Amino acid sequence: MSNRHQGRVAAVTGGANGIGRAFARRLAADGAAVAVVDLEPATETLAVLSGAGAEAASFACDVTSEDDVARLATEIGERFGRCDILVNNVGVYPNEPFEAVTFAKWRRVMAINLDSMFLTAKAFSPGMAERGWGRIVNMASNTFGTPVTGYSHYIASKGGVIGFTRALASDLADRGITVNAIAPSLVRTHGTQVTNPRSDERFAAVAAMQAIKREQRPDDLAGTLSFLASDDAAFITGQTLYVDGGWVRP
Ligand code: NAD
């Protein structure tokens, strides 16, 4: 670990579990103060961060709510003074055949996976622009480049994330803000084990399709996130990095 994020403040949405927890831990290990944002209590993540001596606090927020996100920006401002690094990690991935996807289910996935990123970018980018420095990292998925079935809403939302990442990168570039995305493979998390469980056979089948034939873990993504959030990545923007063991090659 390094001190590359010393003096920076990061907000990680969906930080109570899974990949978000690994991101929060890594940013803290690299010196950032971390705001853990989630619908659920982030007790375990905070315990990990505090145990490591990091400056951290949790914020209850539904990132699909414009009011909640506006309140979040105020609360993080009051607690930490600003937000330099925004990690849009919240996402849901129900697996169901197209026939079973109602418009309400479609809208829910779009609201959580895509609308939320619009709201948080709206809330946090003005402060970044004022200070002339900011990093926004959005969670995509390598399913955007695969023929997996049962994800019409999910893959459409992640395609939106990749498009939003490209467009926002252009709009914010002259404010010193970069915007990038990370596209993982199948990762063992709370979501893939409890909320929307995937079988061990599915994990094995996915690993077999990767060049690196082992299951992906949340920590496999943390180094890329830390890099994209750093000064070393200052000339990278609008990109989606496939951190997926070499499965999808866009
Ligand atoms: P997870 O389900 O383990 O954790 C997601 C967190 O988001 C939870 O703590 C949940 O409470 C929170 N959350 C959900 N809706 C929210 C809302 N409206 N407001 C605030 N918080 C909310 O998820 P994960 O598996 O760690 O996935 C994280 C991201 O990575 C998602 O965007 C997902 O699409 C993406 N991703 C995951 C995988 C995978 O296999 N796990 C693969 C590719 C991409």
Q: For residue 194, what is the DSSP state?
A: I
56 membership: H or E segment, kind and range: strand 56-60
Indicate if ligand 1 lies below 6 Å from the C-beta of 191: yes
- Residue 208 pLDDT: 98
Q: Tell me, what's the pLDDT at 115?
A: 98
Check residue 237 and give its pLDDT: 99
- Which pLDDT score is estimated for 84? 98
- Ligand 1 in contact with 134 (CB < 6 A)? no
Q: Is 89 in the pocket of ligand 1 (CB under 6 A)?
A: yes
Pocket flag, ligand 1, residue 16 (CB < 6 Å):
yes
Q: Which two tokens stand for residue 60?
A: 């209850």
Residue 245: C-alpha distances to residues 144, 202, 218, 241 (Å): 15, 16, 13, 11
User: What pLDDT, on a 0 to 100 scale, did the predictor assign at position 45?
Assistant: 98
What's the maximum distance between 2 C-alpha atoms anywhere in the chain? 50
154 catalytic? Reply is yes
First to last CA, the chain: 30
pTM for this prediction? 0.98
- Here the tokens at position 31 are 């010196």
Q: What's residue 249's pLDDT? A: 96
The residues of the chain scoring below 70 in pLDDT are none
d(CA 238, CA 178): 7
CA–centroid distance, 19 to ligand 1, in Å, is 7
One-letter amino acid for residue 228 of the chain? L
> At what angle are helices 116-131 and 152-172 packed, to 10 degrees?
20
The best mutation among 38, 62, 146 to test binding of ligand 1, ranked by most ligand atoms within 8 Å of the C-beta, falls on: 38
From 12, 13, 17, 202, mutation site for ligand 1 pocket: most ligand atoms within 8 A of C-beta: 17
Atom of ligand 1 at shortest distance to CA of 186? 40
Identify the pLDDT of residue 1.
Answer: 74
pLDDT of residue 2: 84
Q: Compute the distance from residue 174 Cα to the ligand 1 centre, in Å.
A: 30
15 lines ligand 1 (CB under 6 A): no
Residue pair 121/129 in contact by the 8 Å Cβ criterion:
no
